[in-house]
Structure 1
Amino acid sequence: MRKTFKYRIYPTKKQDRIMSQWLEECRWLFNHFLAERKNAWEQEQKSLSLYEQHASLPALKEQRPSLASVHSQVLQNVAVRIDLAFKAFFRRVKAGEKPGYPRFRGKGRYDSFTFPQSGFSLDGNILRLSKIGNVKVVLHRPVEGNIKTCTIKRSSTGKWYVMFSCEWEPTPLPENNEAVGIDVGLHSFATLSTGEHIENPRFFRQEEKALAKAQRKLSKAEKGTLERKKRRKVVARIHERIAWKRQDFIHQHSRRIINRFGIIAVEDIHVNRMLHNHCLAKSISDAAWSGFFQLLSYKAAWAGREFVAVNPAYTSQTCSSCGHRQKMPLSERVFKCPCCGLELDRDHNAAVNILGLGLQSLGINP
């Protein structure tokens, strides 16, 4: 399997300047390759290949000498990114989805570059980058496996990170036959079929006032000024803080669930469709259900656990004891079955139904 390890790096001012220049050169090259493909199709109905664009790099270096300051494999990776963007575009066209044609990158909109094979090495807490030099790395945990690629990324707040993509052999956890169903919601972030609730922290709501204040100050600053640049960083820092809290929260709880249960059943929900409800869109985005399910999915694969996503239709309206179905408005928080007399929290009832559907899909008798 491939696993990515992300670490904070602290370049010197000179290295910061060089890496920022590399990002700008890569951005220019990205836009050039995109324009090449666009013009070739519009004028000649010809599709340029990845290898044709790789072959054009020596001539481009003569036209734009500043490209020569960037490592050759980093420039080649820009062409690979363009090729992947077009492959994804054509895949969406064939699937009948919204295509999303690759877009040109404005200034400051290109934030990473990759060494796909060579040009880097890690020696203790020192990262050696070709044409950049030795950069200090904060190795808060050891790198596992064989490092294959190295990506340098600049965050919206100006912090620098390195990401190592490694070939890695996971170690499965001890076998566990305990099963759980998970129902997500806004009242509680998640309810387990065991009856436990994970409270919804609402990180965005906590920072909403601070964010609104920072955005008001940003809107008053004149465009293109140093003051606006500083205020933009304040807004970005608040968003970054929210993202860190949210990511830590879902990592902690997904790990606890994977360690405790051998079979995990969740709802197969499409969050993008749910965001069309403008009354709940902000709260749904803040809850980060998709990220939670994604972490559960790949951690289950690493640990050798069973992970299954089931259709959530009617799970809140069906009695988990006798199967009776009744209407349940969102305002009703307790499920009361008129047939068997079951009285249960609506989210707990839904979680038990999700567990039953999950076990059925795995061929296990609930």
Structure 2
Amino acid sequence: MLKAYKFRIYPTKSQRTKMERTLDLCRWTYNQTLAYRKDAWEKEGKSVSKYETHNLLPTWKEEKPELNDVFSQTLQNAQERVDLALKAFFRRVKAGENPGYPRFRGRGWYDSFTYPQKGFKLNAGKLYLSKIGNIKIKLHRSIEGKIKRLTVRRAATGKWFACFSVEIEDQLKPPWKDGSLVGVDVGLESFATLSNGETIANPRFFREEETELARVQRKLSKAPKGTPERKKALRMVERVHERIANKRYDFAHKVSRYLVNRFGLIAFEDLSIQNMLKNHCLAKSISDVAWNMLVTLTSYKAVSAGSMVVLVDPRNTSKMCSRCGILVEKTLSDRVHSCPQCGLSLDRDWNAAINILRLGLQSVGIKTVEACPF
């Protein structure tokens, strides 16, 4: 199995210049490759493979000698990204979707380069990159397994990171935590409500930074284009966004770790977030909570924790009474589930979480379970 490690690196000023130059040359290679394949199809109806584009690199290096300053496999990886983008485009077309054709990358819109197999080495707190040199790296944890590839990424704030893809041996899956079951209803009032009645508060990271973000964005809008003041203001905006993203990511990691350490089966709703974002009244709040991130992190951690994550159909989980099963219509403002048939009255999110657990158990073949503990 593959595992990813991400570390902060601290290049010198000259190394930063080389790395930014590498990004620009990879961007040029990407655009040139996309243009070549696009022209070949439009003019000749010919489909060009990535291996054919690899054979163009020696000619391009003669016409543009600065390409020799970039490790050869790194340039090939830029061409591979074009190949993957086109394959994804045609796959979505065949599926009946209406995707946009892969775009050319403008300046500043190419922020990573990859060493697919070699050209890099870790040694005594330094990361050696071919054509760039030895860079200081903060190894805050040890790397286990065999390193297969390295991607160097520049964040919007100007920070640089090294992302290693590591191959490790398949580990024996721990025994399933029998008996510890939970349904999780994610929401806006509370970040998550569990079927046992527990709630996890919604931290609202974007909302708490909104005033500061508005302040720095006003500075950005007032700064004249092309000036050092605008560049400085843009960096301030990027730092606020980075701070929000880091808080959200850290919170999702902690909640997912709590769930997989405690429960053997964790049931979530299989939500279509993109459709939910079409509600403009709630779009900002839905984007802030990042439900998909929680499900993704919980799913991969469950593999090595002896837990199981199941996704269930979200239809009627909020309407259905968890005791008698009838549907009780509600508006978004109705926060309490009150069943006119059996008299059950409890928080609507708690009621939904119990229904989610029941559906999750049914999906794995467990049907003889009491729907509601009351």
Give the TM-score normalised by structure 1.
Answer: 0.98
The answer to whether the 8 Å contact 1:171/1:303 transfers is no
Indicate if the aligned counterparts of 1:258 and 1:305 stay in contact, CA closer than 8 A.
yes
Partner of residue 102, structure 1: 102
Match of 2:257 among 238, 255, 258: 255
Mapped to 2, the partners of 1:298 and 1:86 lie a distance apart of 28
- Report the Cα offset of residue 100 of structure 1: 2.0
User: Which residue is equivalent to 1:231?
Assistant: 233
Quote how far apart the aligned CAs of 1:173 are.
Answer: 4.0
Residue 323 of structure 1 aligns to a residue in which SS? coil
Q: Distance in 2 between matches of 1:123 and 1:320?
A: 58
Given candidates 350, 353, 359, the residue that maps to 2:352 is 350
CA deviations 1:37-90 (Å, max 9, x no partner) are 111111111111101100000010000000000001101111111100101111
Alpha-carbon distance between aligned partners in 1 of 2:223 and 2:65, rounded to the nearest angstrom = 37
- 1:220-271 deviation digits (Å, cap 9, x = unpaired): 1121222111111111100000000000000000011011111111000000
Secondary structure at the aligned position of 2:157 is classed as coil
User: 89-98 or 248-257: which moved more?
Assistant: 89-98
| Runs (5+) with no aligned partner, structure 2 | 370-374
Q: Deviations over 1:279-317 (max 9, x none)?
A: 000000001011111111111223342111001111111
Question: Given the superposition, is the C-alpha separation of residues 253 and 238 from structure 1 closer, same or farther in structure 2, using an over 3 Å criterion?
Answer: same
Match of residue 59 from structure 2: 59
Q: Find the aligned partners of 2:176 and 2:146 in 1 and give their Cα distance.
A: 27
Return the alpha-carbon distance in structure 2 between the equivalents of residues 154 and 119 of structure 1: 19
Matches within 5 A, 1:1-366: 1-168=1-168, 169-170=170-171, 172-177=173-178, 178-365=180-367, 366=369
Give me the whole-angstrom Cα distance separating, in 1, the residues matched to 2:83 and 2:324: 54
Supply the distance in 1 between the matched residues of 2:34 and 2:304 (Cα, whole angstroms).
37
Q: What secondary structure does 2:331 align onto?
A: coil
* CA deviations over 1:151-184 (Å, ceiling 9, x no partner): 1000001000000001123453453021110000
How many residues end up aligned between the 2 structures?
366
Q: Which residue matches 2:372?
A: none
Give 1:27 shift: 0.6
Is the CA contact (8 Å cut-off) linking 1:170 and 1:303 kept in structure 2? no
Contact 1:93 1:99 in 2 (8 A): yes
Deviation at 1:98, TM superposition (A): 2.7
Deviation at 1:12, TM superposition (A): 0.9
Aligned AA for 1:287? V
Structure 1, 137-146 or 75-84: larger mean CA deviation: 137-146
- Partner AA of 1:165 in structure 2: S
1:50 and 1:79 in contact (8 A); partners too: yes
- 1:181 and 1:125 map into 2 onto residues whose CA distance is 44
Q: Residue type matched to 1:334 in 2?
A: V
Partners of 1:130 and 1:213 lie apart in 2 by: 42
User: TM-score if structure 2 supplies the norm length?
Assistant: 0.96
